[in-house]
């Protein structure tokens, strides 16, 4: 599921338009190392986006890859719980 799809689902659930700053954010481009090209953030799969965020966030214990993996899994679990229960 892409960020675009998630935001559209949220819009339907909340019965509200997508915020303009959110749309601007989704249109930002970033360089994809794997694709060797620029991609829109909105076109990114949620797992890929969370990995990118986990890799750029400061880590209290230095460059411990296990911490990043734990953070990613924790964030992913919380997102899945929110959508599974229909919470906003």
pTM for this prediction: 0.64
- 80 has pLDDT over 80: no
What pLDDT, on a 0 to 100 scale, did the predictor assign at position 2?
Answer: 94
41-60 average pLDDT score: 81
Q: Could you give the 3-state DSSP secondary structure of residue 80?
A: helix
pLDDT in tens, 20-42: 999 999 999 988 888 899 999 99
Rounded CA separation 84/26 (Å): 23
**Which residues contact residue 46 at a Cβ distance below 8 angstroms, ignoring those fewer than 6 apart?**
1, 2, 3, 6, 76, 79
Q: Phi and psi at residue 63, in whole multiples of 5°?
A: -105, 50
> Is 70 exceeded by the pLDDT of residue 87?
no
């Amino acid at each position: 599921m892409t960020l675009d799809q998630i935001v559209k689902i949220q819009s339907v659930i909340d019965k509200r338009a997508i915020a303009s700053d959110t749309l601007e954010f989704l249109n930002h481009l970033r360089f994809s190392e794997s694709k060797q090209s620029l991609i829109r953030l909105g076109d990114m799969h949620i797992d890929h986006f969370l990995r990118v965020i986990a890799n750029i966030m400061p880590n209290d214990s230095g460059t411990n890859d296990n911490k990043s993996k734990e953070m990613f899994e924790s964030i992913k679990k919380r997102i899945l719980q929110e959508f599974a229960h229909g919470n906003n």
